[in-house]
Structure 1
Amino acid sequence: MKKNNQNVVQLFKILNITIVILIILNLIMYTGVLLHKYHFIPPYVVSIFIGLLVYVSYKSGNQFFAMDTKGETITFETKNVGFLSFLDSKNNKIDLPKYKLIKYDIKKGIFSKNLIFYINSKKNPNSLTKIKFRLAFISNRNINIILTELDKIVTSNCTIKDNVEVAI
């Protein structure tokens, strides 16, 4: 099943354009091109508002996600599309076979949610490898869909693991 939140990308493009326009207007206000009688709001209030918008956009985490569970692999990708996305342009992407997923965990925070995959790897067979994804601007409906898909995968992995007999 494929799932993503492409509509958030358009919303963040609009937010990024708004921040750029506010920065340009704030620079015009600070340079004094406009007369002071046209200033409805003091420039420092606009600067604080711009800083707050940029901070929330940066701290919210990776806003775009895409998940594909069709076939024998799980593909999960997140990327930042906020105002300062060029500073943290690393895309988090994992493509792993379904049988390697042992369990998962989701932790909810104020600005973002963390989705943690615990996978079995050949490099470290005794313990689990933990892969963490930061998610933001994801609806509860999408979270429930993701969790039900991951539940199906984990339960099928447990039943297969229980049915396998080890020959000595």
Structure 2
Amino acid sequence: MRLSNRNKTSVYSFINTLLIMFLAAGTGAYFLEESRIKILGKESLLLIAVPLFLILLFYLNGRQIFEYDSEGEALHFRNRNVIPFLQKPLSDEFPKYKLLKFEVIKVFFMKRLYITISSKNNRTIMLKYEISYLTKKELTDLRLSLNKVVKTNKEKSVNR
């Protein structure tokens, strides 16, 4: 199964540009308010604080683009930001039989996917992906696909 929200890259880029423009306009309006108009008083700080808060919310929510591919004998996960220099993109590929378990954590508006895989020397590795920008349907499809792989792996380990 393939899952990707890469087609929404232009939407996320537009939102990013819009938020930066709001911050620039708010900063300009703040300095204009402080030097010339003086109508708002201390509330003029909201002209900078609100856009800055929205930008922080947008980036703290995590990497916007998530891609998943379970076709073949390997699982491939990719997670990247719309602005490439902001965060290092994540890309992991491993055989399906190494997947031990997964967990989706939801905290307020943020969603994270934690994947536990087996490694050499009988150790486990936990991989973390930010999936806040997936829709409910995409999230459900991802869970179904990963559950299927985990179930298959458990059945194979019991039969050994």
Give me the TM-score of the superposition, normalised by structure 1.
Answer: 0.81
Match of 2:125 in 1: 129
Give the residue type in structure 1 aligned to 2:28: I
Structure richer in helix, relative to its length = 2
Q: How far 1:43 moved relative to its partner?
A: 4.6
Query: Does the CA contact (< 8 Å) of 1:63 and 1:80 recur in 2?
Result: yes
CA–CA distance in structure 2, aligned partners of residues 162 and 57 of structure 1: 44
1:150 aligns with: 146
Partner secondary structure for residue 82 of structure 2: coil
Q: How many residue pairs are counted as aligned between the two chains?
A: 157
Q: TM-score, normalization: structure 2? A: 0.84
Structure 1: runs of 5+ lacking an equivalent:
none
Task: Pick from 96, 99, 109 the counterpart of residue 101 of structure 1.
Answer: 99
Deviation at 1:31, TM superposition (A): 4.9
Question: RMSD value over aligned CA atoms?
Answer: 2.5
1:23-51, Cα deviation, whole Å (9 max, x unpaired): 3323433454xx749x9xx7522211111
Aligned-residue sequence identity (percent) comes to 26
Contact 1:63–1:81 (8 Å) recurs in 2:
yes
- Look up the match of 2:70: 69
Q: Distance in 1 between matches of 2:48 and 2:129?
A: 32
Unpaired segments of 5 or more residues in structure 2?
none
Distance of 1:21 and 1:48 partners within structure 2: 14
Q: 2:135 aligns with which of 114, 139, 144?
A: 139
Write the deviation string for residues 121-140 of structure 1: whole angstroms up to 9, x where unpaired: 11x41x42211212212122
Distance, in Å, in 2 between the alignment partners of 1:107 and 1:136 is 10
- State the shift of 1:102 in Å: 1.2
- Give the distance between the partners of 1:109 and 1:31, measured in 2 at CA: 37
CA, structure 1 residues 24+129, in 2 after alignment: closer, same or farther (shift >3 Å)? closer
